[in-house]
Amino acid sequence: MPGRLVRYFLCLLLIFLVPVAPAEEHGTSSSSSSPSPGYVLEVTVDTAQQLDVILDRADSLRKLFNPDQYSRIAIVLHGAELQLFQKSNYSANQSIVDRARLLDQERVIDIKACQTMMRHLDIQQSELPAFIEQVPLAPVEIDRLVKEEGFTRF
């Protein structure tokens, strides 16, 4: 399992070090003011500490770029880490939930939760914070982000 955490950490590092240039720099102009496509990261971690490392890295790098000019990160959760965000577990995981909420509000990350895994873990839709977007199935959402929105999968 430590190898998986290292992979996620390295992906986050690469994401923030490889900015997507604005359209004007490529000789094209964009009539839309929407941000450039981003990166999608599939996350399944085993502990709060592992998720905390990922959020710490995103938190430390958020001051280095403007999400309106560079890519965003979609983090698709589809494992036991979803339980960390349950309202009944908020007091034990307050720092993680609050950090994730802040990063979402500042448009650094978008957190998505797999409803299929939520059902498997017996997590009701109302038990997750409103800032977490719920999607029917993680692999389908990842595929959609890649094919329809031009995200890069890590």
The residue extents of the domains of the chain are: 2-19+37-153
Q: What is the pLDDT of residues 68-118, one digit of tens each?
A: 666 678 899 999 999 999 999 999 999 999 999 999 998 888 999 999 999
Using a cut of 0.85, tell me whether the model's pTM lies above it. Answer: no
Q: Is the dihedral of CA 146, 12, 138, 133 positive or negative?
A: negative
**Which ranges in 18-128 belong to alpha helices (H)?**
48-61, 94-105, 115-120
**Looking at residue 17, what is its pLDDT?**
45
- CA 5 vs. chain centroid, Å, equals 15
Q: What is the pLDDT of residues 113-127, one digit of tens each?
A: 999 999 999 999 999
- From 106, 20, 117, 23, select the one nearest 58 (Cα to Cα): 106
What is the rounded distance in angstroms from the CA atom of residue 98 to the CA atom of residue 90?
9
Task: CATH number for 2-19+37-153: choose from 3.40.50.80, 3.30.420.10, 3.60.21.10, 3.40.1260.10.
Answer: 3.40.1260.10
